[in-house]
Amino acid sequence: MNKNSSILALLLITGIFMSAAGQELSPREIVRKADEKFNGEKTSTSVMAMTIVRPTWERTIEFKNWTSGKEFALTLITAPARDKGQSFLKRQNEMWSWNPIIGRLIKLPPSMMSQGWMGSDYTNDDILKESSVVNDYNHEIVGEEELDGRICYKIKMVAKEDAAVIWGHQMRWIDKKDFLFLKSELYDEDGYLVRTETGSEIKSMDGRLIPSRIELVPSEEEGHMTIIEIRKIQFNKTINESFFSQQNMKRVR
């Protein structure tokens, strides 16, 4: 091989390497892909059950959930009978609840976003998706770990100074192959671990793999747990903005 051929080969190899390196995903992009895979790139329509576990009792709530991006969400309680018909609406920065028993529509103030939803360990913010794991945090890959036989990115997410979020930072374990959220640790502003979430029972739903069971365990409340079971979900089905209205809160089924 002459000198010119050697230089050409070196340039080709370097070009291939640089091209591959350029295709590596940033930590923000990894989180975005995992978030869109679980919640839908545009919309999602789901049927779920939530079991609230306490040291001396437990109860299950069934509900339907519709989302469109991060701006719109509507949740309808379908069981048990005493809670059936309650609904919750998010339109951009406004959140509302409707209780058919008392016939009252209530606007939820920002101070209520950190309160438990329906008595569970999930907050109103979690259910109504006020915050964005993509836009409200700075992201950093801090390592890799294996969970349930899957190699995961371990990503630290630190809340931006101007973000209206209740978590100071999060740790997320995201499967490298299928971009699945498999574990999350959520910390308060003082750096104390508040809760841990794990995803399991991975199933194919509407053409994509997702964890169908999410377990949330609070750090300082022994015997407390909330379990979400996804029974059915559809992604990117057309949902008009008019669906997410106060009027529809009272009639959606």
- Cα end-to-end span (Å), the chain: 74
Cβ burial 38-59 (10 Å sphere, 16+ → b, else e): bbbeebbbbebebebbeeeeee
- In degrees to the nearest 10, what's the CA dihedral of 165, 43, 228, 171? -40
In-domain check, residue 174: yes
Enumerate residues 6+ apart whose C-beta is below 8 A from 64.
45, 46, 47, 48, 75, 76, 78
pLDDT above 60 (res 87): yes
Rounded mean pLDDT of 245-251? 95
Rounded mean pLDDT of 221-247? 96
Q: Running DSSP on this structure, what letter comes out for residue 113?
A: T
pLDDT above 70 (res 244): yes
CA-CA distances (angstroms) from residue 247 to 50, 85, 91, 98, 242?
26, 13, 13, 10, 10
In-domain check, residue 10: no
In-domain check, residue 38: yes
In-domain check, residue 9: no
What is the number of residues in the chain? Answer: 253
Mean pLDDT lowest for which of 26-30, 88-92, 108-112, 137-141? 108-112
Peptide bond just before 80 cis, omega within 30 deg = yes
Six token digits for residue 156:
């630290």
**Residue 69 pLDDT:** 87
Mean pLDDT lowest for which of 58-72, 128-142, 206-220? 128-142
The number of domains in the chain is 1
In-domain check, residue 7: no
**CATH number, domain containing residue 173:** 2.50.20.10
In-domain check, residue 5: no
Compute the distance between CA of residue 70 and CA of residue 168 in angstroms, rounded to an integer: 20
Print the domain residue range for 121: 26-249
Q: Running DSSP on this structure, what letter comes out for residue 25?
A: P
In-domain check, residue 137: yes
In-domain check, residue 3: no
Q: Running DSSP on this structure, what letter comes out for residue 26?
A: P
Query: What is the tens place of the pLDDT at every residue in 21-67?
Result: 335 899 999 999 999 999 899 999 999 999 999 999 999 999 999 99
Q: What percent of the chain has pLDDT over 90?
A: 75
Cβ burial 215-253 (10 Å sphere, 16+ → b, else e): bbbbeeeeebbbbbebeebebeeebeeeebbeebbeebe
